[in-house]
Structures are given as structure tokens and as C-alpha cells.
Amino acid sequence: MYVYKDITIKRIAHDCFLVSNGKINLYFDPFKIEENLPKADYILITHEHFDHFSIDDIRKIIKESTVLFMNEMTEKALGDQLANKIVIINPGDSMDYDGIHIKGVPAYNVNKFRERGIVYHPKEDKKLGFIVLINNVKIYHVGDSDNIPEMKNLKDENIDILLIPVSGTYVMTPKEALDATLTINPKVAIPMHYGAIVGSEADAQDFVEAVKKKGLDAVLI
């Protein structure tokens, strides 16, 4: 667990995080949810792949008032389940709930290919990253993405916490994640997308050490 100002951030597995200000519990990409975790007020889902969008894990943390944010492709994968709890969000959209500002940003591949000419996460699918402002702390969950041109515009966002993939499989390598981190210039970078399906803790540690050598802060949680 990592504490930044009055926000706690717990990495659960892979790209799944619990962010809390003590009153509101927000989850990114529920996956491998542990027992006895608090119920979710908000669930933000980056895309429809099973390791980011797990119905069984969502059901472990959902309650009557939970709101789920997802794109249309993920909604189609969900079908009629939980339809009354869904808010559609696409890259470029932003909205406010309970004093929390949620913004969708692009997440896609430029050089991770399923087969020749076909990337794992195409831009046209409108898969998501999220920028969340909670208690004046700005958190950027990159989602499954490469170091994309849109990240150059995020330096002016003054990101406090960057949650960034580092495994190199389907997403950025540690070196590519370092380059993206230097572009975004967060207060703290936290690696993700390792240790559950692809990527190792060594990948995450390499990233943390490389970021620190460049004079920025990074932590492994």
C-alpha cells in the first residue's frame, strides 16, 4: 500500500488498484480481488480483456450504489448484466461524481503486434486510460498502452501518481515506460501489468530504478 497525502493506493494484482480517500473507494480494472476488500463506490474499466474486465471480481466488490465506467465495447461484452450501473465514457470524455473528476484518455498500441499489421490494442477500439482527480490528487491509470503521442499533452496535467504498465508484453517495456514517465513528469510513478499473467517483479524493479536515476520518484507496491 502507498499513501500520498490523504489518498491510499493499494495494488491488488496486474492493473487492479484500490484508491481510497477514507470515504470513497474507487477500483481500476478489478482482477484477482482478495477477500474482505471494501465495496466499490466506483469501478473504472479500461477495456474488455479478461484480465481487466472480470465479472466474477466485479461482483465481489459491487454494492447497490456502485457506478461502473467503461467504453461501449466493454459494455457489449457485459451484455445485460449490471446495465443500470453503467456510465459510458470514451477517450476525451470527462465527468464529475461525488467531487471526483474522471477523464477518459486514449490507450492503444503502436508497436505490439498480434500479427503483422494488427496490434493488440487498436486505437479505433477506444480503449481507455483514466485521469482521476480525488482530494486534489491527480492519478493517471494508463491502461494497456504503448508510449503514445497523446502523452506529450499530459505534462500540463500535473499528474501526481502515474500507474503505468511495464511488462513489455502487450504494453510498454520498462524502457518505453521510462520514456513515457519522463514525458508525463509525475510526482510518483508506480509500475503495473506484471506478476499475474505476464511480466515479472524484475521488470517493475528495473523501471523503478531507471526512473529514480533520472531524478523522479517511483515506488513498487
60 C-beta neighbours (distance < 10 Å), count: 15
Residue 170: pLDDT band with limits 50, 70, 90: confident
**What pLDDT, on a 0 to 100 scale, did the predictor assign at position 113?**
78
For 106, the enclosing helix (H) or strand (E) is strand 100-106
pLDDT above 70: percentage of residues in the chain: 97
**What pLDDT, on a 0 to 100 scale, did the predictor assign at position 182?**
98
Instruction: Tell me: pLDDT of 145 over 90.
Output: yes
Cα separations in angstroms, 146 against 57, 81, 85, 191, 202: 26, 31, 30, 14, 19
Q: What integer is the mean pLDDT of 190-206? A: 84
**What pLDDT, on a 0 to 100 scale, did the predictor assign at position 78?**
78
Q: What integer is the mean pLDDT of 140-150? A: 96
Provide the residue count of the chain: 221
Q: How many domains, in total, are found in the chain?
A: 1
Which has more confidence, 25 or 47?
25
Which has more confidence, 160 or 73?
160
Helices (DSSP H) in 50-131: which residue ranges?
Answer: 55-61, 72-78
Is pTM beyond 0.85 here? Answer: yes
Q: What integer is the mean pLDDT of 109-138? A: 88
Which has more confidence, 118 or 92?
92
Instruction: Tell me: pLDDT of 197 over 80.
Output: no
Angle at 74 between CA 24 and CA 189, to 5 degrees: 50
> What single letter denotes the amino acid at residue 58?
I
Cell of 52: 481487466
Instruction: Tell me: pLDDT of 55 over 70.
Output: yes
**What pLDDT, on a 0 to 100 scale, did the predictor assign at position 19?**
99
**What pLDDT, on a 0 to 100 scale, did the predictor assign at position 199?**
60
Please state, rounded to an integer, the average pLDDT across all residues of the chain: 92
pLDDT in tens, 8-39: 999 998 889 999 999 999 999 999 998 899 99
CATH number assigned to the domain comprising residue 142: 3.60.15.10
Domain that holds residue 161: 2-218
**What pLDDT, on a 0 to 100 scale, did the predictor assign at position 117?**
78
